[in-house]
């Protein structure tokens, strides 16, 4: 039986998924609860990692090494960097980077770690499925680079700095962890985010207001993807 893992960062990001699957077992590893449901010959494992790159790396590693996940999907919310992204819009990561990695003192590019790369690409098959879902449901889907770092970005200068240095269209705090771990362990992965704020001076207020509606949008998009993945 194949396994699809769906990861969020915060409880609010997975609540809509748990409401959908209803019947699930729970297993605890490393301070996280993993919810295991059976769905049409597939196993679906859902967890929220807690905020930030380290927590997300632990959850993603556990999904692959302890639960044998065959696919990793991240669902959640993000700050929009591109001016054409509005609150509630859905973004598909083409690649992810860690904007807060800086060993430029040694002559390396910003965001680069030796034996790794600044950008890690997401999986084409999963991305094509996301594009198909968007087409079927008539949802405008923006794809682009998503930048991750351990800061909630709520400042115009920082936002501009990330755009200029990484050409990213959205910013969040976990996606690059999913990319690093899944890529190293050879598991296909994708990152779907719905915009909760614009990473500007109003970001904290917007985030609180739109977290739940944007989280629902991302989760329901991912549920439609699951229905296509199980037909691969």
Catalytic residue ranges: 13, 197
If one asks whether residue 64 binds ligand SAH (CB under 6 A), the answer comes out as: no
- Residue 177: count of CB within 10 angstroms of its CB: 26
Residue number of the CB atom closest to ligand SAH? 79
Span near ligand SAH by CB under 6 A; candidates 25-33, 127-135, 172-180, 181-189: 172-180
Pure H helices in the chain:
11-21, 53-65, 124-137, 156-166, 175-184, 203-229
Whether residue 218 contacts residue 93, with contact meaning beta carbons closer than 8 Å, is answered with no
Handedness of CA 150, 156, 162, 165 (dihedral sign): negative
Site track for ligand SAH across 17-36, x = CB under 6 A: --------------------
- In the bound complex, what is the minimum distance in angstroms from residue 71's beta carbon to ligand SAH? 20
Q: Which of 88, 152, 212, 228 binds ligand SAH (CB under 6 A)?
A: 152
Contact 192, 184 (CB under 8 A): no
Query: Pattern 75-114, binding to ligand SAH, x per CB under 6 A?
Result: -xxxx-----------------------------------
Distance in Å, CB of 88 to ligand SAH, minimum:
13
- Please list the residues that pair with 171 across neighbouring strands: 79, 147
Asked if residues 172 and 146 have their Cβ atoms less than 8 Å apart, the reply is yes
The footprint of ligand SAH on residues 181-210 (CB under 6 A) is: 196-197, 199, 203, 207
């Amino acid at each position: 039986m194949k396994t699809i893992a769906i990861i969020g960062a915060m409880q609010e990001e997975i609540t809509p998924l748990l409401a959908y699957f209803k019947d699930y077992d729970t297993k605890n590893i490393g301070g996280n609860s993993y919810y295991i449901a059976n769905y049409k010959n597939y196993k679906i494992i859902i967890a929220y990692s807690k905020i930030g790159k380290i927590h997300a790396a632990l959850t993603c590693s556990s999904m692959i090494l302890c639960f044998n996940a065959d696919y990793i999907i991240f669902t959640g919310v993000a700050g929009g960097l591109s001016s054409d992204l509005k609150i509630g819009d859905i973004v598909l990561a083409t690649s992810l980077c860690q904007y807060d990695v800086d060993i430029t003192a040694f002559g390396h590019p910003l965001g680069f770690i030796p034996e790794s790369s600044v950008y890690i690409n997401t999986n084409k098959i999963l991305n094509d499925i996301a594009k198909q879902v968007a087409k079927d449901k008539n949802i405008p889907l923006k794809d682009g680079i998503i930048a991750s770092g351990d800061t909630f970005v709520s400042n115009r200068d920082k936002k501009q700095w990330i755009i200029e240095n990484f050409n990213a269209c959205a910013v969040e705090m976990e996606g690059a962890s999913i990319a690093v771990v899944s890529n190293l362990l050879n598991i296909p992965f994708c990152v779907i985010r719905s915009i909760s704020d614009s990473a500007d001076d109003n970001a904290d207020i917007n985030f609180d207001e739109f977290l739940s509606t944007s989280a629902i949008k991302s989760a329901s998009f991912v549920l439609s993807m699951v229905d296509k993945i199980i037909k691969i």
